[in-house]
Amino acid sequence: MPNSVTPTHCPYCALQCGMNLTPAADGTVEVSERTDFPVNRGALCGKGRTAPEVLRSSVRLTSPLVRSGGTLVPASWDEALDRIAEGLSRTRTEHGPDACGVFGGGGLTNEKAYTLGKFARVVLGTSQIDYNGRFCMSSAAAAGIKAFGLDRGLPFPLEDIPKSGCVILVGSNLAETMPPSLRFFNELRENGGTLIVIDPRRTKTAEQADLHLAPRPGTDLALALGMLHLIVAEGRVDEAYVAERTVGWEDARAVAMSHWPEYVERITGVSVPQLRQAVRMFCEPEDAMVLTARGPEQQSKGTDTVGAWINLCLATGRAGRPLSGYGCLTGQGNGQGGREHGQKADQLPGYRKLDDPAARRHVAEVWGVDPDTLPGPGRSAYELLDALGTDIKSLLLMGSNPVVSAPRAAHVEERVKSLDFLAVCDVVLSETAALADVVLPVTQWAEETGTTTNLEGRVLLRRQAISPPEGVRSDLEVLHELADRLGVEKGFPTDPEEVFEELRRASAGGPADYSGITYRRLAEENGVFWPCPAVEAVADGDAGADGDAGEAAEGAAAGLPSADPADPADPIDPAEGTAPGVTASPATPDADSLGKAVSGTAPGVHPGTPRLFLDRFATPDGRARFVAVAHRAIAEEPDEEYPVLLTTGRVVAQYQSGAQTRRVDELNAAAPGPFVELHPRLAERLGAAEGDAVAVVSRRGRAVAPARITTTIRPDTVFMPFHWPGEGRANTLTNPALDPTSRMPEFKACAVRLETVTP
Ligand code: SF4
């Protein structure tokens, strides 16, 4: 194992900051600055800086555990793997393959996400696989596909932000979720650009803004419509761009014109003068961007809400132009790559649609199986969790802790407990792992090599820096062993590079085409942006490394302009000759036409695509789609019984369900537990003082946490971070009402009442 400096990347958020790791003689690992990675240029937040502590944590799992007499006890790897294979096999025999569920995570590397999807569909033959990334960015992904024909979080590098003229950040508290990214926005302002932050709370990010708009939670869609109304009324529409590069404007315009600013003010609480100011700041510079995050996305109308913000970019001629456009700030470390390679319920590797016959044929050939044996789309994440113990009897779970992170978490916990069999792979005994029949201890980020894809679509090589502790194995080894025990001896390599080589072939010709990317290139070039097709192979009439030109063409047709058949408002117009699930290959753009090549790459090698859509969008006709969407209320409006709105989010010192960060002393000292943030007026009505225990009650349960009284939140809203289990578990309260397209739950707004708690 190397004992010198290893350049690698942080295990946590989608920024995927670069860092250097150096093993010390005592078994610990030192983190040092890695300034050559352009995203963070050496800067790290406290989570990244302390990430090595989890590697040698005293609570690290180093032995498999099996349930015996009601408790988890250490067992050999063979016994644990045999028990999992038996559990899954029994379920399959007794109830059919779809009674086996698989649940993945947005932190898994591309290789693991790919292998987990293949394992579910080839070994178990189940359609029931999804992952926690569904809770992260799925609404933005669905909206991006509707509007542009393709979803890649940011269609431009973060380095473009400082050169833009104005950025609207909708529902992102990046000063806490990904602090090193704040420098791009600081540089924007230093360069004379302006920052508008839209958030019901005056967050640390909002404090940096030139303009902060604080709409009522769940009304971002109305806010975007109000701005679009003013853009039309003030004659700020880029008519030439709209005519040349878009379709659907008249319908979108008509809806916006029915949302008068005064009406929008009543819905959102944002005044008309503030709306006008935001429009002026956004429209006056030549270049401007809208970036969304979980605020507008985690709603039961998240797809439409993001679509409304994209409309703003299209009406003003910003999307698909340099230093301008729409992007999503994906949250989890490999939230982007995790959704591209097959652990999503409806997708195959390369971001292909699972119900596309050509995509199925292509991937089935790479996998060496009959396409007719591949199951169809399964349930989305919450629906899958809700079916545990009823339709789904056994679950294999990797890299997720839904007992803390899923909405309506007490119900999800009951569903998990009702399973016939649960197996969990994790590094610590998470709250979900503690309920398992078998727990497998697996390697962590610094102990294994693999690739991730950050929020920019930049594919990165995370290198192994240290040896794993005795007793743990990688997730790839686990899947190899389980496949073998379930009768599939080949096709599940344990070497990550071997998996990546297969992933390249599987992705060739798809929307997220990785076929031109190799480990060697990733190491030499410090990351490569997809799409990156294998130029030489294509030029030779080859689909990629598998050598089938016909399949490559089918794959390409299957990919880029593919409609979403599950979406009633499918963006692809049948009049264009493309029915849902069927694609028009002549209109399929190649990677070069989506963006501009970068220099410095050897001839015959595709340079990757940092900027998308500069010449055309990834739709059959190359034009972006407006969506005509009207405001509608959240699924659960406050009423007499539950008169206050709850919104949830993160704090800087914890990450997601806290399974890793709650094991780090420094982070726990900075953020030891949950709290309820509320306005002084609300606190006064409640009779609560700072630090008093407050019960927050929704139709789904009750959570108790100390009051944190602040004027930075609206008087009609309370905020809770969601990183903790137990009585302060915020997700006990949240509403699983789903977006009809993305199947995203409405984490960001539900009705609650507050009660004081007598000590
Ligand atoms: Fe960077 Fe995110 Fe890691 Fe912090 S958690 S160091 S922002 S990648």
- The whole-angstrom separation of Cα 325 and Cα 323 is 7
Give the residue-averaged pLDDT of 41-57: 93
pLDDT value of residue 560? 34
List, for residues 185-197, the tens digit of each pLDDT value. Answer: 999 999 999 999 9
- What are the structure tokens assigned to 320, written together? 């698909």
Ligand 1 within 6 A of 31 CB?
no
128, 98 contact by CB (below 8 A):
yes
Angle at 12 between CA 11 and CA 17, to 5 degrees: 75
Structural domains for the chain = 6-55 (2.20.25.90), 65-136+335-444+474-495 (3.40.50.740), 138-328 (3.40.228.10), 644-756 (2.40.40.20)
Q: What are residue 88's phi and psi, to 5 degrees?
A: -70, -40
Least confident of 53-57, 415-419, 588-592: 588-592
Ligand 1 within 6 A of 537 CB?
no
pLDDT value of residue 590? 56
Least confident of 226-230, 365-369, 568-572, 720-724: 568-572
Q: Letter for the amino acid at 696?
A: V
Place of tokens 């959570």: 703
- The whole-angstrom separation of Cα 608 and Cα 606 is 6
- The whole-angstrom separation of Cα 79 and Cα 223 is 57
735, 406 contact by CB (below 8 A):
no
- What are the structure tokens assigned to 92, written together? 């399959």
- What are the structure tokens assigned to 222, written together? 């109305």
Does residue 593 surpass a pLDDT of 70?
A: no
CA 154 to ligand 1 centroid distance, Å: 17
558 — pLDDT class (breaks 50, 70, 90): very low
**Distances from the Cα of 221 to the Cα of 197, 254, 680, 717, angstroms:** 15, 15, 28, 18
CA 682 to ligand 1 centroid distance, Å: 34
CA 48 to ligand 1 centroid distance, Å: 5
- What are the structure tokens assigned to 204, written together? 């640390």
Angle at 17 between CA 618 and CA 469, to 5 degrees: 115
Would you say the ipTM is above 0.85? yes
The number of the ligand 1 atom at minimal distance from the alpha carbon of 51 is 3
- The whole-angstrom separation of Cα 117 and Cα 445 is 20
**Best mutation site among 40, 47, 460 for ligand 1 pocket (most ligand atoms within 8 Å of CB):** 47
Tell me the DSSP string of 418-486: T-SEEEEEESB--TTGGG-SEEEEB--GGGS-EEEE-TTSEEEEE---SPPPTT-B-HHHHHHHHHHHT
The number of the ligand 1 atom at minimal distance from the alpha carbon of 333 is 8
pLDDT value of residue 574? 26
Does residue 541 surpass a pLDDT of 70?
A: no
Q: For the stretch 429-456, what's the b/e string if a residue is b when 16 or more beta carbons lie within 10 angstroms of its beta carbon?
A: bbbbbbbbbbbbbbbbbbbbbbbbbbbb
Does residue 542 surpass a pLDDT of 50?
A: no
List, for residues 56-95, the tens digit of each pLDDT value. Answer: 899 999 999 999 999 999 999 999 999 999 999 999 999 9
**Distances from the Cα of 130 to the Cα of 198, 283, 348, 385, angstroms:** 30, 40, 12, 10
pLDDT value of residue 562? 35
Identify the sign of the CA torsion 710, 711, 712, 715: positive
* Listed residue (729, 687, 683, 686) closest to 710, CA to CA: 683
Does residue 544 surpass a pLDDT of 90?
A: no
* Cross-strand pairs, 417: none
585 — pLDDT class (breaks 50, 70, 90): very low
Ligand 1 within 6 A of 652 CB?
no
Ligand 1 within 6 A of 230 CB?
no
The edge-to-edge listing of strands for the beta sheet with 458-462 is 450-453, 458-462, 528-529
Tell me the DSSP string of 535-592: HHHHHTT--STT--HHHHHHHHHHHTT---TT-TT-SS-GGGT--TT---GGGPPPHH
CA 249 to ligand 1 centroid distance, Å: 39
Pairing label, strands 676-678, 735-738:
unpaired
Q: Letter for the amino acid at 456?
A: E
Q: Letter for the amino acid at 288?
A: A
Burial tier of 582 (Cβ tally within 10 Å: 0-12, 13-18, 19+): middle
- What are the structure tokens assigned to 469, written together? 């502790």
Strand, helix or coil for residue 168: strand
- The whole-angstrom separation of Cα 318 and Cα 314 is 6
- What are the structure tokens assigned to 642, written together? 């539950």
**Which one has a higher pLDDT value, 333 or 666?**
666
Query: 531 preceded by cis ω (within 30°)?
Result: yes
Q: For the stretch 593-614, what's the b/e string if a residue is b when 16 or more beta carbons lie within 10 angstroms of its beta carbon?
A: bbbeeeeebeeebbbbbbbbbb
Angle at 383 between CA 111 and CA 452, to 5 degrees: 20
List, for residues 426-469, the tens digit of each pLDDT value. Answer: 999 999 999 999 999 999 999 999 999 999 999 999 999 999 99
List, for residues 358-402, the tens digit of each pLDDT value. Answer: 999 999 999 999 999 999 999 999 999 999 999 999 999 999 999
Work out the widest C-alpha separation in the chain, in whole angstroms: 75
474, 448 contact by CB (below 8 A):
yes
**Best mutation site among 8, 9, 16, 17 for ligand 1 pocket (most ligand atoms within 8 Å of CB):** 17
Q: Name the average pLDDT for the chain.
A: 90
Identify the sign of the CA torsion 438, 367, 385, 95: negative
Element (H, E) at 405: helix 402-405
- What are the structure tokens assigned to 730, written together? 């915020």
* Cross-strand pairs, 445: none
Element (H, E) at 279: helix 272-283
Does residue 584 surpass a pLDDT of 50?
A: no
CA 172 to ligand 1 centroid distance, Å: 15
Give the residue-averaged pLDDT of 128-141: 92
Q: Letter for the amino acid at 648?
A: T
Give the residue-averaged pLDDT of 558-583: 30
Least confident of 146-150, 336-340, 747-751: 336-340
The number of the ligand 1 atom at minimal distance from the alpha carbon of 45 is 4
Ligand 1 within 6 A of 44 CB?
yes
Does residue 592 surpass a pLDDT of 60?
A: no
What is the separation, in whole angstroms, between the first and last Cα of the chain? 54
CA 428 to ligand 1 centroid distance, Å: 20
DSSP state, residue 713: B
List, for residues 282-324, the tens digit of each pLDDT value. Answer: 999 999 999 999 999 999 999 999 999 999 999 999 999 999 9
Ligand 1 within 6 A of 180 CB?
yes
- What are the structure tokens assigned to 631, written together? 């405001």
Going by alpha carbons, the residue nearest to atom 6 of ligand 1 is 48
Give the residue-averaged pLDDT of 487-510: 96
- Within 13 Å and on the Cβ side, how many CA atoms surround 522? 26
Provide the strand spans (E) within 252-372: 289-292, 325-328, 347-348, 352-353
Residues of the chain with pLDDT > 70, as a percent, come to 91
pLDDT value of residue 578? 28
pTM of the model: 0.91
Please, what is the angle between helix 249-257 and helix 220-233, to 10°?
100
Ligand 1 within 6 A of 703 CB?
no
* Listed residue (307, 383, 341) closest to 744, CA to CA: 383
Stated length of the chain: 759
* Listed residue (593, 493, 586) closest to 533, CA to CA: 593
Ligand 1 within 6 A of 18 CB?
no
Q: What are residue 343's phi and psi, to 5 degrees?
A: -95, 5
Provide the strand spans (E) within 151-264: 166-170, 194-198, 211-213, 246-247
CA 18 to ligand 1 centroid distance, Å: 9
**Best mutation site among 44, 174, 462 for ligand 1 pocket (most ligand atoms within 8 Å of CB):** 44
- What are the structure tokens assigned to 117, written together? 């999807």
The number of the ligand 1 atom at minimal distance from the alpha carbon of 178 is 7
DSSP state, residue 323: T
The edge-to-edge listing of strands for the beta sheet with 438-441 is 71-74, 65-68, 438-441, 421-426, 394-398, 100-104, 129-131
**Which one has a higher pLDDT value, 730 or 539?**
730
CA 655 to ligand 1 centroid distance, Å: 10
**Distances from the Cα of 490 to the Cα of 362, 396, 494, 610, angstroms:** 19, 20, 11, 36
**Best mutation site among 172, 176, 178, 455 for ligand 1 pocket (most ligand atoms within 8 Å of CB):** 178
- The whole-angstrom separation of Cα 705 and Cα 674 is 6
Going by alpha carbons, the residue nearest to atom 7 of ligand 1 is 178
